[in-house]
Amino acid sequence: MATSASKNDTKHDFTVYHGKKIAVVLSIQGKQKVCRGTASYKFHAALGPVLAVRIEGEENHGVPELLLSETSWLGGIGVDTQYGCDYCFVPSASAAEAGC
C-alpha cells in the first residue's frame, strides 16, 4: 500500500499508482478543478518516468492525459476520500492541506 508523501519529500515511487484511479486537483485562476482518470506508469523521452493520467469526462475533447513527473513531483499524494478515486495528487499542496 502506498503512503502519503509530503510536499518536502523528494523521492516517489509512482509504479504503485499504475492502473489506479487518480484525482488530480488543480488550482486554476484561484478555482479548484478536479481531473479524474486511470493512471499508467511509463517512460517519457523528455521527462523520464511519469504517471500518465488519462482524463475522463464528456467535456474533454479527444483523450487528454496529464503527465506527472516522478523525478520532479513536489506536490501532495494521498488516499482519496472525496473524489471517488483511489488516490489524490495535488501539485500545489500536501495531500493533508488539500483534504484528500
Taking alpha carbons only, the member of 52, 53, 31 closest to residue 42 is 52
3-state secondary structure of 95: helix
- Render pLDDT for 39-93 as a digit per residue (tens, 0 to 9): 999 999 999 999 999 998 766 666 688 999 999 988 889 899 999 999 999 987 6
Of 40 and 33, the structure prediction assigns the larger pLDDT to 40
Label residue 96 by pLDDT band (50, 70, 90): low
Instruction: Give the whole-angstrom CA distance, residue 80 versus residue 78.
Output: 6
Label residue 3 by pLDDT band (50, 70, 90): very low
